[in-house]
Chain A
């Protein structure tokens, strides 16, 4: 395959799918592709087929998953005696089944918001430190250690969270309760600190490496000329970062955060180990209770029975799937809008 590359500007595989049939004529950069198809060399044909096949397979898999979720979920939803969106209970094994996702939706969203609020600023700060402040000798090892955090299995985070983090957070929660207890959101009524806030802290630690490493790469891409131009205008280092690095990296940081959010929304074992689930919405994020989609699936799947037990869990999985799609779509919109004036196309 490598023999053919020098002769043609090798188009990235996804383009091969997008251009099928539709827009061969027209814009200049696409011309070499049409030509490549025309040469009729076997290598080109094979490569085109392979890359097209890979793309199509991906779409088929996605569609199959969505279809499977939708079909199984519709069974459960039509049998559900409760309101799927507002019921505060999960009796999916009963006959007739009664279940709703109100608590799960709330818990998933709240714990992810807490995780993002904690992780994104820290991750950006670490990425900036590595790329712009740390001496070269230090930045390498720090980046390496951060990447290493991503390799720890989530159950290990869960065990660490349950056995170490939870007992050590009670002091912090009492302090928060003293000063912010009046908000009701940060009220704390003793008891083991196995709450949505603890989950948020744990998730923040888990998504930190993803956001950090992607942000770091984006900040490295900032054109040297931009920074030097800012310096030439007499900007301080912080002003350089504010004027050239952050605007350039904004879309990249948003993408990085979305990757992290994806993990936070779907995290299962760590949450199931740390959270004390209950089927009500607790007003304070510091008090134990609540639940998330993935945690509930993990806890309930083993004993899911009856006609609808598993299908109901799949229905909740479908909601998580949709939430992830919506969040990613929203992020893409933001990135698309930013692109024009940040100059970041990568």
Chain B
């Protein structure tokens, strides 16, 4: 069954190359069950350069899992000879497996730490591991206040809410930011992640950078503040927001979209409050500085940006591979796969899963770096 489907898809891919005019027809005619994006898969197939064979193992960040699933599906549809297997084990475990030489590359929510770079010299012959930014995404702040569907907050109010300093939805500070909104007398129930997470890391970094006086805690993967409730995983916190009246929490935008949870517009200092959308996140990422040395493209995000339409609570996840000295048997496949991810096609499909495409200037650098991998 599997085999048949794969062959079917490969046939579609071949068809795309030969008679691109008939593409739409073939795609519709095949028994591809991947839904509306099935057409996408075969369209991308035409531009993917397949190299290498066999299975490509990778693991790491669960924040980029949905993007990876989509990419892997598109890629294997075009390159049937390569089986890409991405396990969302969490960034920590992913980096560890990469450093032990078990995987071809790792996905991570944060750039490598200096000691991890040092450790990477063992797997990367005569070289070291580098960070390649690949997926960006807005971290939405979802809320559940009766049937209110629009709410504007600024960094300081947000920080005070999550620090349990503002505890009622009809607080003056919230009222001032939302003139005209009907704010009920309801206890605010802020939810944070109980597990360590890159989402928490980025969210607290934002609070610290944009509202240093209101957020006294150290940013990090583990939640440091007291008060509020905790739940496991993005799925856990978003389902709590859906369930509990008065709740507010932070998670990747895709969870808000799929759960139809309204999200907070941020007052950043720009002319108008900024909505949590993938385009606005891309704009904020383009404000980021590259702080990695040499080929390393680690980014420093501008959390306190006031740029027009830039949504500052963003997350950038990296792929981590060796600059030189990647394992010979998987090098070709790794390069081919990463080239697809960084390509226009690879980046443009991200939107449908709630991720933000890399801004052009960073994407160009990423492509250069990937091409130079050896």
Interface residues of A (CB under 8 A from B): 90-91, 93, 162-163, 166-167, 190-192, 194, 272-273, 276-278, 280, 288, 298-300, 302-305, 309
Contacts and interface: CB of A to CB of B under 8 A. Distances in A.
A272 B232 contact: yes
B116 to A, nearest CB: 9
A299 B194 contact: yes
26 contacts: A93-B92, A93-B196, A163-B239, A163-B243, A166-B243, A167-B243, A167-B244, A190-B187, A192-B229, A276-B229, A276-B230, A276-B231, A277-B194, A278-B230, A280-B226, A299-B232, A300-B195, A302-B89, A302-B92, A302-B93, A303-B91, A303-B93, A303-B221, A305-B95, A305-B96, A309-B92
Given A93-B92, A192-B189, A192-B243, 15 more contacts: A93-B222, A191-B229, A192-B244, A194-B231, A273-B232, A276-B194, A276-B229, A277-B230, A278-B230, A299-B232, A300-B195, A303-B90, A303-B92, A303-B196, A309-B92
A192 B90 contact: no
Interface string B218-239: 0001100010011110001001
Contacts, number: 65
Given A272-B232, A302-B196, A191 B89 contact: no
B64 interface: no
Given A303-B90, A305-B92, A191 B187 contact: yes
A303 B197 contact: yes
Contact of B226 (A191, A194, A278): A278
Interface residues of B, number: 27
10 shortest A-B CB distances, which residue pairs?
Answer: A303-B196, A305-B92, A302-B90, A276-B229, A299-B195, A303-B92, A277-B194, A192-B244, A276-B230, A288-B229
A305 B244 CA distance: 33
Nearest to B200: A303
A304 B92 CA distance: 7
Contacts of A162: 239
Contact of B195 (A191, A192, A280, A303): A303
Nearest to A95: B115
Nearest to A166: B243
Contacts of B92: 93, 302-305, 309
B240 interface: yes
Contacts of A272: 194, 232
**Which of A192, A272, A300 has most B Cβ within 10 Å?**
A192
Most buried by B among A272, A288, A305: A305
Interface string B152-196: 000000000000000000000000000000000001010100111
A298 B140 CA distance: 26
B241 to A, nearest CB: 10
A194 B197 CA distance: 21
A298 B233 CA distance: 12
A199 to B, nearest CB: 13
A303 B226 CA distance: 21
A298 B230 CA distance: 14
